[in-house]
Amino acid sequence: MTGSHSIVPDTDAAPKCPFHSPESVFEGSTPLVPSEALGALRDEAAAVPFLYSDAHQGWLVTRHSLGRAVLEDPRFSMYPRRMPLGPSGGHPLDIDDRAIHSVHDADLLSLDEPQHGKLRRTVLGRFSVRAVRGYQEAVQEIVRSQLVHLLEVGSPADLAAEFAQPISARTHCFVLGVPDDQVQKFISLFVDKSTSQQKWDFVREVIELRRDNLGDDVISDLLGSELTPTEIEGVLFVLMVSGRDSVAYMITTGTHILLSHPDQAALLRDDPALIQAAIEEFMRYGTMFVTLFPRTALEDVELENVLIRKGETVSVSPVAANRDERRFEDPDVFDVTRDSFGHLAFGHGQHGCVGQQLARLEIRTALGAILAEIPSLSLIEAEQSRPLPWASDLPTYEAGSLVVEWNAA
Amino acid sequence: MQITVNTPACVGAGQCVMAAGELFDQDDDGIVMLLEDSPDAAQQAGARRAASLCPARAIKIAE
């Protein structure tokens, strides 16, 4: 197909754009204070017509109940995935043929069942509640050493760069099975900037290093599975690029929330056991995903009196759903004693975050250490207090720097 | 109360273990294991909560 996409019928019959654009809905949104427009749309309807930035029309789901229903309904497909909300409208294919093959076979974020489930099941055992309990000591040690590092850097410091990012990167490497001497390279490629091809090359190098030295880790499990080499590379690529930045985001944002709510921080300090359940409230209140990956209806679907026609695109907004007063009383209040389970911050359904138990452990351990070890911590400046560009092609919040100070002991 | 689990549907999120660890666990592959299919009165709220949180609707409860 050729031709311009800008031809718009110039007649009175053309609708006066009842559709809401990403700019109009999300403008001004920040992690602690979602845009007012998003709240207004949630009051208007459970799903509102949405005009994606590539000009196709679909739905933005704003309420919790419908969001949950869409995410667990197999009549919605992850493929073909649209990422029309990003700044650039797509990337050049700057990866080799083998990587393209891996994306096609094993991109967990754009596959449906049964292929998606087949791939997911090869790694599930490493992320169960029980498996994650086994990582507790290692994560505590990583958090402890990064706390020492932060204190050595000295007040004031950027907690995002000196504490949150390294904790998530080092834990990611530990669980995946990236050898210790490759961790710095992982950070330079996946935390700092690099090309897609450099990331794919690293995935293949690490797999080769592990092949001769199998261990108790995700890569070793993948190598022992029935998956093809390109599937193994594809799954590992997804796991390497997913979850790491979102954990760092949540440790940063969680600290920002703590420093902005001293009464709630005091509750957690007085009763450290509270943090186990309170992590859900941090996730709910500081949700990173303004929308999840869009889904496409495979047939006409009617849910909660909303008719989504076959072929239409649907984007669920966890940020909106987690502030839905129909599900959470006084949703704009951060309250560590509330029951926040059931939030959609990890997504939901078959494509819900596979590493969510590990994420909980990391965030809980990191925030617990901050509360216990640096009681004098206070905020100088949170970059995320003002709107920042999205962190990815999806509308997701960027953690930004978090400059903090404390009294040296 | 009678609990049944649909293991092929399980997506291994672990919500049930968090909600009611005395009734549910995950096996070495991360898939749900039912530890007790007839919970006593004190465990029934946890069972309902696990069923309601399950992202795969893999837990069914007959009262």
For chain A, what are the domain ranges? 22-405
A24 versus B57: which is more confidently predicted?
B57
Interatomic CA distance for residues A50 and A59, integer angstroms: 5
- The total domain count for chain B is 1
Q: Can you say whether the dihedral through the CA atoms of A231, A138, A397, A190 is positive or negative?
A: negative
Chain A residue numbers touching B6 (CB-CB < 8 A): none
Cβ of B11 within 8 Å of Cβ of A349? The answer is yes
> Binning pLDDT at 50, 70 and 90, where does residue A386 land?
very high
Of A72, A129, A354, the CB nearest to B18: A129
Which residue among A127, A129, A352 sits closest to B55, beta carbon to beta carbon? A352
Query: What does the pLDDT read at residue A93?
Result: 66
Higher local confidence (pLDDT), A147 or A392: A147
Q: Are A248 and A363 in contact (CB under 8 A)?
A: no
pLDDT of B47 reads 97
Can you tell me the distance from the alpha carbon of A319 to that of A312, in angstroms, rounded to the nearest whole number?
A: 22
| Min distance B30 CA to chain A CA atoms (Å) | 4
Q: How confident is the model at residue A409 (pLDDT cuts 50, 70, 90)?
A: low
Q: What pLDDT score was predicted for residue A148? A: 98
Arithmetic mean of pLDDT, A236-247 = 94
Work out the pLDDT band at A79, boundaries 50, 70, 90. Answer: confident
Residue pairs between chains A and B whose CB atoms are closer than 8 Å: 65
Q: What is the mean pLDDT of residues A19-32?
A: 90
The ipTM of this complex is 0.95
Q: What is the mean pLDDT of residues A349-360?
A: 96
Enclosing domain of residue B58: 2-62
Closest partner residue to B26 (CB to CB) among A129, A341, A348 is: A129
> Hey, of B10, B17, B18, B24, which one would you mutate to test binding to chain A, going by the most A CBs within 10 A of its CB?
B18
Q: Confidence class of residue A360 from pLDDT cuts 50, 70 and 90?
A: very high
Interface test with A, best of B29, B32, B53, B54 (most A CBs within 10 A): B29
Kindly indicate the confidence band of residue A334, based on its pLDDT and cuts at 50, 70 and 90.
very high
Q: Report yes or no: B19 at the A interface, CB cutoff 8 Å.
A: yes
Burial class (CB in 10 A: 0-12, 13-18, 19+), A56: middle
d(CA A177, CA A227): 18
CB atoms within 10 A of CB A401: 17
Q: With beta carbons under 8 A apart, name residues in chain B contacting A125.
A: 12, 26-30
Q: What is the pLDDT of residue A80?
A: 66
- Exposed, middle or buried: residue A286 (CB in 10 Å: 0-12, 13-18, 19+)? buried
B18 to chain A, any CB pair closer than 8 A? The answer is yes
Q: Are A313 and A59 in contact, with CB atoms under 8 Å apart?
A: yes
CATH code of A22-405, in short, is: 1.10.630.10
B24 near B34, Cβ under 8 Å?
yes
Distance CA A233, CA A239 (A): 10
Residues of chain A that touch chain B, judged by Cβ-Cβ distance less than 8 Å: 71-72, 117, 120-121, 124-132, 341-342, 346, 348-350, 352-354, 356-357
Q: How far apart are alpha carbons A64 and A230 in whole angstroms?
A: 37
Would the pLDDT of A170 be above 80? yes
**The CATH number of the domain where B38 resides is what?**
3.30.70.20
Average pLDDT over residues A73-96: 69
A275's tokens: 């943090």
pLDDT value at residue A83: 54
Q: Note the pLDDT of residue A204.
A: 97
DSSP class of residue B23 equals T
pLDDT attached to residue A88: 43
Residues of B in contact with A354 (CB under 8 A): 12
Residue-level pLDDT at A14: 44
Residue A82 has what pLDDT? 59
Instruction: For residue B9, give the DSSP letter.
Output: G
Q: Which of 34-63 (B) contact A at CB < 8 A?
A: 49, 52-53, 55-57
C-beta atoms of A130 and B26 within 8 A: yes
Contact B15, B50 (CB under 8 A): yes
Give the residue on A whose Cα is nearest the Cα of B19. A341
Q: What angle is formed at CA A41 by the lines to CA A35 and CA A45, rounded to 5 degrees? A: 155
Q: What is the mean pLDDT of residues A372-397?
A: 94
For residues A214 and A100, which has the higher predicted lDDT (pLDDT)?
A214
Overall average pLDDT of the A314-320 stretch: 97
Residue with more model confidence, A93 or A295: A295
Model confidence at A359, pLDDT cuts 50, 70, 90, reads: very high
Pick the residue of A78, A119, A129 with the most B CBs within 10 A to test the interface with B by mutation: A129
DSSP code of residue B1: -
Assess whether pLDDT exceeds 90 at residue A94.
no
Of A121, A128, A356, the CB nearest to B26: A128
Verify whether the Cβ–Cβ distance B30 to A121 is below 8 Å: yes
Average pLDDT of chain A to the nearest whole number: 92
